[in-house]
Amino acid sequence: MSNLVSVPKNENLVNSNLNQNFPVLSNWFDDIFNRDLPSVLTSNFNTGITLPKVNIKETADAFMVDVAVPGLKKSDFHIEIDNQVLSISTETSEKSEHKEENYTRREFGYSSFKRTFTLPESVNDEKINASYNDGILNILLPKKEEAKQKPARSIKIS
């Protein structure tokens, strides 16, 4: 560890006998606020679930949204569209009780998330469909006919 001390222009050292084992308060605040939130605050510590990762792919005919959410059932999901905003959410809870002669153990857990996406005007919201297989929620957002890319064609010069 370096014991270098910056010297102000007036060449006076203030607090030259600082205990080097304690962080300077301003550095400590900077460290706290410049860091991502601790995982304890952003995850469900009962299951380890954080906001699920999402892949979005665009093709000529549609957008495909894949959400990685293993361990859930398709009945756990709520998918809604309101004013061109797609919302994907879930809430699950789990309770268990174990009784033996001298004690009873009760455990419970709760997890939830909500992801929202603003849909482009080109999405045909009447034909959106979703499926859930092998821990991946797949949502197909077909494009309106007028928004689909048309294949390249040659134009004859007259």
Tokens of 11: 């060449």
Q: What is the Cα–Cα distance from 93 to 73, expressed in whole angstroms? A: 12
Tokens of 76: 């756990």
Q: What is the CATH number of the domain that holds 71?
A: 2.60.40.790
* 140 within a domain of the structure (yes/no): yes
Quick count: other Cβ atoms within 10 Å of Cβ 114? 11
Q: Where are the beta strands (DSSP E) in 72-156?
A: 77-82, 85-99, 104-118, 129-133, 136-142
Tokens of 55: 């892949």
* 130 within a domain of the structure (yes/no): yes
Tokens of 82: 């309101």
Coil, strand or helix: which one is 109?
Answer: strand
* 28 within a domain of the structure (yes/no): no
Coil, strand or helix: which one is 114?
Answer: strand
Q: Which residues, including other chains, have CB under 8 Å from residue 147's CB and lie 6 or more apart?
A: 121, 122
Work out how many domains the chain is built from and give that number.
1
* 155 within a domain of the structure (yes/no): no
Condensed to tens digits (0 to 9), the pLDDT of residues 51-93 reads 889 999 999 899 999 999 998 888 999 999 999 999 999 988 8
Instruction: Identify the domain containing residue 106 by its residue range.
Output: 46-147
* 11 within a domain of the structure (yes/no): no
* 27 within a domain of the structure (yes/no): no
Q: What is the Cα–Cα distance from 149 to 60, expressed in whole angstroms? A: 5
- Hunting for tokens 């709520």 — which residue is that? 78
* 61 within a domain of the structure (yes/no): yes
- Does residue 108 or residue 31 have the better pLDDT? 108
Beta bridge partners of 133: 136
Q: Residue 3 pLDDT more than 70?
A: no
pTM: 0.59
pLDDT tier at 145, thresholds 50, 70, 90: confident
* 66 within a domain of the structure (yes/no): yes
Q: Mean pLDDT throughout 8-22?
A: 48
Query: Are the CB atoms for 97 and 104 separated by under 8 Å?
Result: yes
Query: Are the CB atoms for 47 and 39 separated by under 8 Å?
Result: no
